[in-house]
């Protein structure tokens, strides 16, 4: 059982919920009727934040749990927290037309790569020790 990993997972789910809420709010604000995914730039930004967050979370969550299962859970949680903070930075910056989403994206990608390396390292050691 990894309570810190579970916490990062639930916070990631809340981030995805928040981005979905932002899309719904932008639909109302800019008059974009479902199922349209284009229209006002403000809506499109909110929509891309949601989709990019989901795409990234699809890679992040299994990497987080694999890294925790085959490595140090505290280290996985630290990388997970970094990913989460990077994605929040990315989302806030992307939603702002003048925002620079690059740093948030980079933090998230580095944290994701660290989790993948940690998971692969731990998995490899299970084969060496077997």
Q: What is the pLDDT of residues 32-62, one digit of tens each?
A: 999 999 999 999 999 999 999 999 999 999 9
- What domains appear along the chain, each with residue ranges and CATH number? 3-129 (1.20.120.550)
State the DSSP code for 113: H
C-alpha distances out from residue 50 to 4, 47, 69, 74, 95, Å = 24, 5, 28, 28, 10
C-alpha distances out from residue 28 to 24, 62, 108, 113, 127, Å = 7, 34, 30, 37, 54
Q: For the whole model, what pTM was predicted?
A: 0.94
Structure token pair of residue 26: 């932008």
Confidence of residue 106 (pLDDT cuts 50, 70, 90): very high
Q: What is the reported pLDDT for 126?
A: 94
Neighbour count for residue 15 (Cβ, 10 Å): 17
Q: What is the reported pLDDT for 129?
A: 84
């Amino acid at each position: 059982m990894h309570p810190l990993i579970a916490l990062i997972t639930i916070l990631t789910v809340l981030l995805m919920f928040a981005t979905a809420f932002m899309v719904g709010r932008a639909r109302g604000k800019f008059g974009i009727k479902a199922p349209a995914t284009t229209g006002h730039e403000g809506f499109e930004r909110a929509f891309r934040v949601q989709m990019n967050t989901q795409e990234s979370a699809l890679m992040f969550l299994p990497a987080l749990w694999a890294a925790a299962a085959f490595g140090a859970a505290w280290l996985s949680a630290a990388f997970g927290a970094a990913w989460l903070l990077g994605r929040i930075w990315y989302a806030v910056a992307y939603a702002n037309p003048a925002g620079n989403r690059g740093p948030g994206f980079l933090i998230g990608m580095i944290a994701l790569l660290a989790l993948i390396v940690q998971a692969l390292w731990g998995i490899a050691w299970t084969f060496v020790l077997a």
